[in-house]
Chains A and B, each alone.
Chain A
């Protein structure tokens, strides 16, 4: 048991240089962008003296190293600078949008797993028979439908006729949020499930061919019991890794979904910041995305360590 904690600890320590690298890259984003940030803040008509004053305020004439040190110091304390446009702290903007996207991603993952686990198990058990073919057809359909279209269809065919779900915006109470997130989550789930189903089917089939499953059968275990006790936990680790990879590629889908459903999340914020050339905001969102990816991979490692008792010998 302690071996597994050691493994997780090691992963955490390994994540530190990774995080520093991420912060460095995001910092460089501002450095390599052409144009003078101070000029952008004060506007084109302001005098050179005003520009110089802002440059001085922001410390833009300091060396790159001291600027990086200052930026890193700010990041560690939760200070991501100020928006060029709204003059708000970027940290506040991110903090306002983070829960929306968090809800979206987590509930999307939950929905995708609710689709994936039964269908993946069914396809594997029914390998090359009807259930497998049906699942493959449904998956292909899922891949073929773009998320924005699925989202629009859900709004047109479900939200509008029934009036059960808001067609835009998030809520303040838990109930409202849950309600607002249902359709986006279903859309996201449909987008993520097909690849998960394929992966789960493949790893279950691999498990079913193993000696220990044959041994489980020899003991008299069969059907659902066999899958639950001898297969699922062994097949789970590749699913966890896949879910982590999928989550890290979610940015684009998130932008689409948040736009379709009018959700004020990070994807929407990122697009707005980019359109407005609001560099500190872009930096802030990028940093949050990157940190999320690092954390998601870390989380996947931890989950796999919990699922697989052998991790302590690998770690």
Chain B
């Protein structure tokens, strides 16, 4: 049992609009242990990025968050936090798009050095040394020279590493990674994943790793939360969830994913579109696309029920699902 580094309870993101509020993130609860990697999987638009941004208080204007956010302090006690106080040293973030997330008018090394200085009380010189050191640590070749490069002179993989190095400069207890490898080619992707795993194992950094790529999550994450229409629909250890899915949405995602313990099976897309946050269906939100939907699904209350040890599903018919997949 690891100590919890970050706990989020009942997080809700409200988007105000003239037609009334909508809730693109609607009651998300999660916890991440030290050295643990929690994967969040879900289709585009399910609210993954907003969840991470809300945890760091970085929601765009017009969006507000409610809920309880707690972070472990030095002695391991969880305490509620103000997001602006924990950014950097408490919670760091690696953004989805390496192309836009680096300041185009700041040299790679300067960004890392700035992050180091913000949290380490270092001199200018020392922070520059530290920056090169960190760049080397995250696998930037020829770090001395690359530190002087502008972002546009770097490849996508290098930019992502620069961003990771900057996030690490503050030595965060928890690192939020928003699809850090989606924009990269497969080889670079593997290198970054190894780097993240190493960070969790060696530095005890807790991580949330967002991706819609189930094989990547299967490879990297200890636990997984499957997100649909602003809510988690299934949570548990990655192995359990991916081998014995207890929610039709997880099962559908698995069928749509190439090779996660399901080699040789026909790939099948999920029919229909995920719903818009302004028009979530009542009851189970997956019902309109669910092959197993019944009448009572339209009135199903939202609740993650335990289906096995450390394994929860929001499907009221999860028991039947077990029979079908078994």
Contact = CB atoms under 8 A, between A and B. Distances in A.
B104 A212 contact: yes
Interface stretch (B12-20, B85-93, B179-187): B85-93
Contact of A215 (B102, B118, B169, B170): B102
**A215, A233, A308 — most chain B CB neighbours (10 Å):** A215
Contacts of A220: 87-89, 115, 118-119, 170
Interface string A196-230: 00000000000001111111111111100000011
A209 B62 CA distance: 12
Contact of B114 (A214, A217, A221, A308): A221
A313 B56 CA distance: 35
Given A215-B163, A310-B150, A221 B97 contact: no
A309 interface: yes
A176 B101 CA distance: 50
A232 B152 CA distance: 19
Contact of B92 (A212, A218, A222, A308): A218
A307 interface: yes
Given A209-B61, A211-B95, A222 B101 contact: no
A215 B104 CA distance: 12
B58 interface: yes
B115 A230 contact: no
B131 to A, nearest CB: 12
A212 B118 contact: no
B105 A308 contact: yes
Contacts of B103: 212-213, 215-216, 229-230, 234
Interface in A282-315: 307-310, 313
Contacts of A215: 93, 95, 101-103, 163, 166
B97 A211 contact: yes
A104 B316 CA distance: 77
B155 interface: no
Contacts of A307: 105
A309 B153 CA distance: 10
B101 A211 contact: yes
Interface residues of A, number: 24
Contacts of B50: none
Interface in B103-135: 103-106, 111, 114-115, 118-119
B106 A219 contact: no
Contacts of B100: 210-212
- The dominant DSSP class at the A interface is helix
B152 A309 contact: yes
Contacts of B84: 222
Contacts of B61: 127, 209
Contact of A234 (B58, B104, B119): B104
**B84, B87, B97 — most chain A CB neighbours (10 Å):** B87
B167 interface: yes
Contacts of A211: 95, 97, 100-101
**A209, A219, A233 — most chain B CB neighbours (10 Å):** A219
Interface string A113-143: 0000000000000010000000000000000
Contact of B106 (A127, A209, A222, A230): A230
B106 A214 contact: no
Nearest to B166: A219
Nearest to A213: B103
B105 A214 contact: no
A223 B53 CA distance: 19
28 contacts: A209-B61, A211-B101, A212-B100, A212-B101, A213-B103, A214-B58, A214-B95, A214-B101, A215-B93, A215-B102, A218-B87, A219-B88, A219-B92, A219-B166, A219-B169, A219-B170, A220-B88, A220-B89, A221-B114, A222-B87, A229-B103, A229-B114, A234-B105, A307-B105, A308-B104, A309-B152, A310-B152, A313-B152
Given A220-B87, A220-B119, A310-B152, 8 more contacts: A209-B61, A214-B95, A215-B103, A219-B114, A220-B118, A230-B106, A308-B104, A313-B152
Q: Which 7 A-B residue pairings sit nearest by Cβ, starting from the closest?
A: A220-B88, A218-B93, A309-B150, A211-B100, A233-B105, A212-B103, A211-B101
